[in-house]
Amino acid sequence: MTSIPSLPCIKNLTQTELSSHFVSMGTEAYRLKQFYKEFYQKSPLQFEQLTSIPKSLREQLSNQFSPTSMQLSKKTVSADGTIKFLFDLFSGGSVESVLIPSEMRNEEGLPKRKTLCISSQVGCQLGCKFCATASLKLQRSLSLAEILDQFFLAQTYSETPITNVVFMGMGEPMLNYDTVMRSVELLTDPTLELLSPKRITVSTAGVVPGIIKMADEQRQIKLALSLHATTNGLREKLMPISKKWNIQAVMDALEYYYQKTRIPITFEYILFQGLNDSQEDIKRLTKLTRRFPSKVNIIPFHPIDFTVPTGFAATLQPTSDEAFKNFQQQLLQNDVTVMIRSSSGVDIDAACGQLAFSNVS
């Protein structure tokens, strides 16, 4: 392990803050533009690697800042090509990120799409029964640099550009809202040509104030809701957050979001045997989707036995293949747009709901 930098990470500065700092150093304004574009397009581990700015400025920055906020601790590769990263944070703690290649290939045989699943917190406080991260509890929210560096470090291990980002890793993005949105603003800055807003999705367990804020700010990124139940009783058992914001409150917020942004909503729905896979669930879910344009991602339940779940969590079982297919087909017959979320990375505990530092030695 390399030594941990004692200097603050420069990626925690917004472009405005960076501009002010450059002015305070007596640096010409055009140097900021040079630095900003090259730094975020190359994301070097040392300022000395930058070539567009003078050596004297590189030395000044090296004495004042660290260019990165974390380091790779472990990289695990799945049989399907999914990569799980364990990053050690210089400010303390660790997070996992997952790079998922699409099954579709280009003419060179490489994945047409690479999606990075990003974490927004160290651990999580929501306690969803099906999620391994719940076993870690919440340590803290990530800084701007710690969110951005998941993208930039993961990119160095991808042979093709990362095309999509989903905030579906550790933590609840809406409980680190301002920092998540600042990271989105940089990743979608047109001068950097990194990502389109349409290629970014924020997933929430149903934090209503965050949904409303996204709507009021006219965010052009996509929004996904972890639903997983069509009745408040079951959702409260699966996701304690539903005791604060029930399905009706969340649906009202989502409808408000759609009216403000005109961007369709994605519902995420893990299927559990005998709990949420009935005919009545299909009817209720169909009704929910008709309030505004939307699609449903149905997701297999992935084992989290490595967290040694207890109580209700220990009783959760994946629905049968037959029931899974039937659920999908009946939704399609009801004119619901349905996608099946793949189990990419399940062999390395990198699939949906499995991020909790397993396979870490």
The pLDDT tens digits for 245-267 are 999 999 999 999 999 999 999 99
Q: How far apart are CA 286 and CA 279, in angstroms?
A: 11
pLDDT tens figures, 1-25 = 455 677 999 999 988 999 999 999 9
- Name the pLDDT band for 344 (thresholds 50, 70, 90): low
Does residue 82 surpass a pLDDT of 70? yes
**Neighbouring residues of 272: CB distance < 8 A, sequence distance ≥ 6:** 130, 228, 238, 301, 316, 317, 318, 319
Q: Which of 75-89, 255-269, 341-355 has the lowest mean pLDDT?
A: 341-355
Look at residue 6 in the predicted model and tell me its pLDDT.
79
Q: Which amino acid is it at 152?
A: F
Q: To 10 degrees, what angle do helices 29-42 and 15-24 make? A: 130
Q: How far apart are CA 196 and CA 182, in angstroms?
A: 15
Residue from 353, 358, 342 nearest 82 by CA? 342
Reply yes or no on whether 96 is catalytic.
Answer: yes
DSSP 18-42: HHHHHHHTT--HHHHHHHHHHHHHH
Look at residue 206 in the predicted model and tell me its pLDDT.
98
Task: Let me know how long the chain is.
Answer: 361
Give burial (CB, 10 Å; 0-12/13-18/19+) of 105. Answer: exposed
Look at residue 361 in the predicted model and tell me its pLDDT.
46
CA 259 to chain CA centroid, Å, is 24
The active-site residue, picked from 9, 117, 124, 352, is 352
Enter the tokens of residue 343.
């189990």
Look at residue 66 in the predicted model and tell me its pLDDT.
96
Cross-strand pairs, 83: 77, 99
Q: Are 322 and 293 in contact (CB under 8 A)?
A: no
**Terminus-to-terminus CA distance in the chain, angstroms?**
14
Q: How far apart are CA 215 and CA 220, in angstroms?
A: 9
Look at residue 319 in the predicted model and tell me its pLDDT.
94
pLDDT tens figures, 293-303 = 999 999 999 87
Does residue 43 surpass a pLDDT of 70? yes
Q: Alpha carbon of 237 to those of 135, 171, 234, 243, 312: distances in Å? A: 16, 19, 5, 9, 8
Which domains are seen in the chain, by residue range?
Answer: 10-64 (1.10.150), 70-348 (3.20.20.70)
The active-site residue, picked from 9, 96, 128, 131, is 96
Residue from 139, 164, 136 nearest 151 by CA? 164
Q: For the whole model, what pTM was predicted?
A: 0.92
**Neighbouring residues of 261: CB distance < 8 A, sequence distance ≥ 6:** 214, 215, 218, 219, 220
